[in-house]
Each structure stands twice: as structure tokens, then as C-alpha cells.
Chain A
């Protein structure tokens, strides 16, 4: 059983009513900030993460290295307080599956920093493939350090089956 979609999704959806509904949801919710959370960056967690991922570069595994920093995807485990905004409409069926993560590294994350993450709905769209029509909801978390520098952006693609 997959935890991501096995189908290759390439064809546009034909159902005009569903398109209109999704268009309304997009218009109302894309770009809305709905969660603000802080995360402490600790050296032991950063090292344990990097080592479990098979990392051998001391920049990521040795806290005494002059350029010690978090592994590129380290912020992907930082979950917002809410998955969706309060009163976000029910679209698609079930709880959804994790379709993937995109991480943008803007600057090194150092141990001891407290990051503040702001969460938004970045996009909502649909695709149709062999598994039928699926709805993609992209949750974006932007992480800033104490100097308010953007250090990491994580896009989480949640996939739900269209009803």
C-alpha cells in the first residue's frame, strides 16, 4: 500500500462543478496565514537527524565544526499547531496522504537558535491520473531566526481523493 500516489497524474479535470468549488476555496484560503509556532534548534537532535540520514559531512554531524548547521531537510519535522486553518472547508475524502516535501534552504540553521514558523496555505489544485482525480493542498511553513532572517521554507503537499 503506497503512502504517496502511485499514479502518474497528467490530465486536467473535466468536472466543471468541482472546479468551481475548488476555485472558490482557492480564492478564499490561498495565502492566508493561520499558525505561528516556535521551535528550538538543538545540536543533539540536529546530529541525530543527520547521522540517521547517512550524513558523513562534519558540517552536519560535528557540533564543534566551525560551520555546524542543520541538515537541509531538518525543518520538515517541525509541525505547525494546526494542519489546516480553523473553519477550512472539507474538500476531498479522508485524511489525505503525504505527497512530498519541497525544502528551500535560504541560510544555515545554527544550534541554539529559536525559529519562528509562519504557516500558510500556499496552493490548492487538482490533477487527474490513473488513480482518479486528486486534490493537492500545499501547506507552506516559513522559518525565521531571531534576527528575522528567512532560513527555510517547507512546502508539504497533502493529497486527497476528490469526492
Chain B
């Protein structure tokens, strides 16, 4: 079951899906991220330069995709604390494309109020660009 927002720990169950999201990976947004991260490499901000490096187009920085997943978790569980987020960059996500983030609850610790999540980002062509996990703590 996909729930837009989780108000408290007791409302969730193993197997729950987080609502899917498609974050903005337009060039201006990626440029803004690269400037904030002091991470302005041509492969991220210039389609033509990225093609010369062998990519189909400019690619979304891996650490930005991790940030998107963290933001999705915060929207799903307002006020929660992300204790750990672990992402594997499996394939390229292209700037100016549509990407889709998914998440699901895989485990819960009722005493510590901690949930474990599986996370993924799917590229526009259906490839999995990022997989990951997170541990998230709820407020008492």
C-alpha cells in the first residue's frame, strides 16, 4: 500500500510503498546543485561535453540522486531522522529526462522506532540507475 504521508510509526507496515516521485533533473536544477556542491564538471552541466566523454547526454551527479531520495523520505515521514542512507550508482541518469524514485519498507524496529527502506531510481528508458537502502528514525 502506498501512503502519501506517515504521521507516526504505528501507521506503517512492512511492505508499505513510499509514494513514487519524479524529481526535477532539468539542466538549471542540476547546475544549481553542482554550484552548491562545488562539483561543476562538464559531464553534469553540458550535454555536448558529456557526449564527447561517451555518455548519451549530461548525467545527474550520483550525490544529487542520493539527495533526491532523502527528500522523498522526509516528505513521506515528516519530522523523521535519516540515520543512514546507502546508495549504489548502477547506471547513468540523464539530465533533462524523466526519472522515477521508489521506496518500500523492508523492516521495522518497534522499540527503537526505526524503519529500514529499500530505495531505487529508474531512468526514463526503464534501466535502474540507483539502488539503495536507508534507516530512518521516527519521533516518539
Contact = CB atoms under 8 A, between A and B. Distances in A.
Partners in one complex: yes
Contacts of B62: 3-4, 98, 100-101
Contacts of A18: none
Contacts of B67: 49-50, 52-55, 71, 73
Q: Is the interface of A mostly helix, strand, loop or mixed?
A: mixed
Interface residues of B, number: 42
Contacts of B92: 1-4
A128 B18 CA distance: 33
B89 A99 contact: yes
B6 interface: no
A76 interface: yes
A71 B62 CA distance: 15
A76 B37 CA distance: 9
A60 B75 CA distance: 12
Interface string A66-104: 000001110011000000000000000000001111111
A63 interface: no
Nearest to B81: A105
B70 A4 contact: no
B64 A52 contact: yes
Given A48-B32, A104-B84, A4 B91 contact: yes
A27 interface: no
Given A76-B66, A102-B85, A55 B29 contact: no
Interface in B6-55: 21, 23-24, 29-30, 32-33, 35-39, 53-55
Interface of A: 1-6, 45, 48-57, 60, 71-73, 76-77, 98-105, 157
Given A101-B87, A103-B66, 7 more contacts: A1-B92, A48-B33, A54-B23, A57-B74, A99-B89, A101-B66, A105-B83
Lowest 8 CB-CB distances: which A-B pairs, in order? A53-B67, A4-B89, A48-B36, A52-B33, A102-B86, A77-B37, A100-B88, A49-B36
